[in-house]
Chain A
Amino acid sequence: MNITLNWLKNYIDFDFTAEQLAEKLTMLGVEVETIKQLGIAIDGVVVGKVISIRPHPNADKLVLCQVDIGKEDKLQIVCGAPNVRDGMVAPVATIGTELHSGVFIKSAKIRGEESYGMLCSEKELGISPDAAGLMELAPELSIGTPLAEALGLDDTVLELEITPNRPDCLSLIGVAREVRAETGNELRHPQIELNESDTETQGVTSVTIDDPELCPRYAARIIKDVKVGESPDWLKQRLESVGIAVINNIVDITNYVLMEYGQPLHAFDYHKLNENRIVVRRAAEGERITTLDEYERKLTPDMLVIADAEKPVAVAGVMGGHETEITDSTCDVLLESAYFSPSSIRSTAKTMGLNTEASYRFERGADPENVILALNRAAQLIAELAGGTICKGIVNVYPGKQEPIQIQLCPERVNFILGTELETTEIEQILSRLGFGIKMVQQEGLDQEAAPTEDNVFQVTVPSFRVDITREIDLIEEVARVYGYDNIPTTLPKGDIPVPVPNKLAEVRRRIKNFLLSSGMMEAINYSFVHPNCFEKIRLSEGNPLREALKLQNPLSPEMSILRSTLIPSLLNNAQHNHNHQINNIALFEISTVFVQDKEPTRVSGILAGEIGGGVYGNPYKHPDFFDIKGIAEGALEVCGITDYAFKLTDEPTFHPWRNAELLLDSKRIGILGEAHPEVLENYELPYKAYLFELDLNALTEAADFAKQFKPIPIYPSIQRDLAIVVDKEMQSDLPIDIIYSTGGKLVESVKLFDVYIGDQVPDGKKSLAYTIMYHSATETLTDKVVNDLHDKVIRKLNQELNAELRM
């Protein structure tokens, strides 16, 4: 909501500059978002009066004017405007002024005659496109005053952000009340005096409320014989300065009073109301109305409407009807001022997709006690500005009058909650400045042990405009904000620190993340939303439960319409994005929850593609392969202390059928990895291979074992034997390792595969595997004989079990 400084000053006195006021309001919780100075473009332009005119000696179309701008010396100004005349009051741009158009005014000789300024048209000032002649100013304006001030344009607009709990601040008087809380200065309400005619309002209209729950109060006045037309300049300027469109004098007045009191009003053309009367009721099934914006709208029985004897003429509290609106031919006006139930207005406005100044206020909560004040104020202004006579009395139907809310406030509780040491008198003063009724009473019914209290508590009466205050804690906030949050002490918590509970998942997450970072992978974060086609793109099999993804009802776009059940498509998207930008060293991982049916497991996934490594002399890029991604997965498990895992080839269609594996832990799948299938690469427009893994962190957490135990450093030396065997090409290379360990028993310290060879040196269909075996005993130095015998036994066993030939 916008307000202006000068307008606000109508209701309360204060000495603040706009910036100071903005600061005060902000620190009271009425945040000022912007401060905008009006009328800056006419700085340096003053009100001047032409006191004599004589012809220009050297030009037929120019004249020499003597102009009074309130100083002793009169200015000679050369002017060519057709309407310039003796005695005319017009704007004068003085020397040094830069006009709206960019023209800079300096003293000049025009056709040989000195000119010390410029008499201006509206166009030259940027006020309107009118360039026909000089702007004619009212003769009573004080000569020499700055034009902006003279025209009321020297104002400052403050843009306020009013929180939803403070509808009482959605008006000038409401903001003035906040200024009162700050300054203690008294409010100045508009003086309302009505000249009523003899015609009784009750005799010419009636109001029936069928649903008092949705409409607790409805009041109406009739103003006859109005002249609908343009509003006076001051009214138009006021509304325009706060961003409200100017329509006609009647509507402008209702908007002006809305801004003044925060009470939405509506004016009907009295003669277009069937039987000239008002019925407040729910809409009937199938009823329709064309609203002021000329849209025909469907009404439903949960909507409250204002109807005449036959049909709806307004959507209550939201928007008036087109048919009964004020037009140039309207002569009699029925003015509505009412209070509607906030939740009903809210639901109607939401259903219709309409958010009007009226619905905005009603749905947050207007002040039912404002209804008559605002109605009378508008009637007064209509009579003043649009002529017309006000019928006698008000039709005031008020079935839902509420008693004011009373709250007990314990002063000690204020200090208990805030950590302050406020005196009761300070609390009392703050609340009464805010308009609360307050008196000290003997406390009753409060549990003595529950909170520190004294014998006396305040009995606080909540004013009707403060719909947000219903509890003691609400009053405590009022005290806090007016006292100033900045004045509340700053202390550290005194209570006990709770005993922390270990979080194993977080530890697994941390270890794996550190491992991946040290492996050269960059951390990615992707949106949880993905395109439903991603399952096709990664060739997920038809029955895969990951396809049953959760769908958004209101997605931003199809690309973001389901919740991801796997991280793999996101990382492939990232690879594609980077490749499209010529970045081809792709090593990314992401750790995130995914959404699988009603569970949110945490996953880690990674991708290696293009060229990985340093890409510099001595550390060139290399193309990743299956064993890079496998090593990453193995490392991730090992940092969690998991060693007894197994790999098994799968038939997951996402992957190359012969270059993939699932990771098994106790024969349960805890992850998958491999080379992306060529079609997957094609779907993501990647011209090179990509290697992916995804692990289930929850399963890893279950198996993780961070406990470490000391093993004695070997005292006796180890003996190394290398072994190369020739086996069938298809044989798994981990089989010999198992046999070596089981044959060698405790004396085998470690076995490492250090070479794999397929080629001319071995027969077709065979491969050579070379291992380093370290033999070691914890209790003695092994002799060559012992080791040789054992090594021979290993060779024999490999030959028996795997038909392995020793390669010489």
Chain B
Amino acid sequence: MSDSHAQSVAFVRDTVIPESPPPALETGVVKWMRSNLFSGWFNTLLTLAAIWFVFMVLSVVVPWFANGVWEASDIRQCREIMAGSGGGCFAVIADRWQQLLFGFKYPSEEYWRPTLAFVLLFIAIAPLLFSKMFPRWMLVLTALYPFVAYYLIWGGTILAPLVALLGFVAGYFAYARVVRRSFAGAAAAGVVVAVVVWTLGGYVSAAAPGFMAFEPVASREMGGFMLNLILGVVCVSLSLPLGILLALGRQSNLPVVKGICVVFIEFIRGVPLITLLFVANVVLAYFLPPGTNFDLIVRVIIMITMFASAYIAEVIRGGLAALPKGQYEGAESLGLDYAQSMRLIILPQALKISIPGIVNVAVGLFKDTTLVSIISMFDLVGMIRGPILASTDWNGVYWELLGLAALLFFVVCYGISQYSQWLERQLQTDHR
């Protein structure tokens, strides 16, 4: 059939036509915009509304930054310089940044100490956070950090933190010698040895208060963002072991222990943090032996730690409950006792599952440290609300100060939550 037409065909293409480009509307930016921004009338409307919204926000924020005044001695001078251009008076930050970061009582020539402690914090937590990238021996630095940080921030003789450290080391060695025979006995031995070392060392450090001493700074002189960081770091690290104990207690089959833990957890979770801070502020003193006088910051740390440990306990309980029953039974069938099975089998897995939840609690707790401003402590928010906005120089500079506070918290909290998401992906051992 085809042969019969051979002569009548005038032209036969013997090369392939080059590929023509896809329709302009279906490629590149245009295609992306069509499918992501303008697919249908409703989407177009949404896009236009969103663009309008972004424009409105930018039209306020950009001039605010662009016309901002960074150098002025007070708000009146600021307003003169701006002359109604609608800029921000960022001079307040340039003028008072030390107060915002360190509070208004911390001696200014000692600012390098908390700053150094803050930098060291990263070195200390790096081996914890990125355990795969750093060698294990660096965990020693993490263990040393609390003592170094105490020495740097609070000052005083180096003997005090040194004795505390020695107590822990001695306690650990006592524990390590006995732990093969019995866990409970080892724990008791460790505590006893540590207490003995602390008591003896207490006399030594009291005898030589000036030995290698920095200028001591009392707790009530801490303030600013530093106070938020101190409260956050201290309370989270203290509440973690407490939370683990509470979670184990709540899962335990001893009714008395379980009852105590349940009542504690539910009570703490049922009341707002602010009432617990009221307790720290006005009530706790009634329950202490007459004559003892804790610093407010210590009382606040106690209450916030209790608050955080109840929430962490609930997170870890979720992790414990999520473990398959076979793990518990497997540990028992190996002949491990309760302490061993928890330490070696259950907790490592349960804690791994609960890390994202714990990080969430930590972020929430760090944000909640601003509440101490309500019981008139001068943390970042307290500094803004109190000494700075009340001063005649800067009375009325709300946006710049509160914006800075929001920015500082955002950077820290967003950083932590991004880390937690990264860690979640790292820890995902199931293959999906």
Whether both chains belong to one complex is answered with: no
Interface, chain B (partner A; CB < 8 A): none
